[in-house]
Amino acid sequence: MEERISIENRKPRKSRKHDADRNGMIGILKSKVFIAFSVLISLVLICLLVFPIYRVEDDSMYPTLRKGDVVVGFHSRATQGDIVVVRYNKLLLVRRLISTGGHLFDMNDGGKVYIDKIELKEPYLDSLSRGILDITLPYEVPEDRLFIMGDNRKESIDSRSTALGTVSRDMIDSVLYFCIWPINDFGLLENR
């Protein structure tokens, strides 16, 4: 006599097709996650290499920038008036490019700056000051050098001091264009 197995007692057999479909979906999901992760990492690396992000470490650029501000730069050629990040020894200094080589820098007792005897308009300053100045004025900026200053003229150590002096163009890490933190200062750094 034949033994009959009831449908209720029979264990369902997994089909190989079901396993293949399931494994295929997991494989597709894993590859999509891997691609998304790779794209994200690539974007972060590109942003850091092309648009480096800096945290301001002092108040040399006050009132334009404050200690703790987070800013975004771009690797481009700096021009007069640009806010730049300068690599000096192991430090990153944030300063403003005041004059390029071959020009005559001068400053009166009240703190007004003159480039080639023409007063430099500086709407970004809160107050004028000669600050820390131990160079002989008028000062001719060497042809291959840049004269930089902080906006906080009383406190900033910059090209007015022989402790730092002028900098070479290859010391400029990037030009700062945008403040991203704190949120109430979010925006472009155009002579603000």
CATH number of the domain residue 114 falls in: 2.10.109.10
Q: What is the pLDDT of the chain when averaged over all its residues?
A: 86
The domain tally of the chain equals: 2
Q: Are residues 62 and 89 in the same domain?
A: yes
Residue 123 domain flag:
yes
User: 93 and 37 in one domain?
Assistant: no
Same domain, 110 and 132: yes
Asked whether residue 31 falls in the same domain as residue 61, the answer is: no
Strands (E), the chain: 53-55, 70-74, 83-88, 91-100, 104-107, 113-115, 118-119, 139-140, 145-149, 167-168, 172-181, 187-188
Q: Are residues 94 and 155 in the same domain?
A: yes
- 73 and 135 share a domain? yes
5 is a domain residue: no
Q: Containing domain of residue 36, as a range?
A: 13-50
Mean pLDDT calculated for residue range 123-131: 92
Average pLDDT score over residue span 35-59:
81
User: For 93-110, what is the mean pLDDT?
Assistant: 96
pLDDT > 70: what percent of the chain?
A: 84
Query: 3 in a domain, yes or no?
Result: no
Residue 22 and residue 111 in one domain: no
Please indicate, yes or no, if residue 164 is contained in any of the structural domains. yes
Please indicate, yes or no, whether residues 29 and 80 belong to a single structural domain of this protein.
Answer: no
d(CA 59, CA 69): 10
In a shared domain, residues 73 and 152: yes
User: Could you give the angle at the alpha carbon of 152 between the alpha carbons of 151 and 158, nearest 5°?
Assistant: 75
pLDDT of residue 4: 59
39: in domain: yes
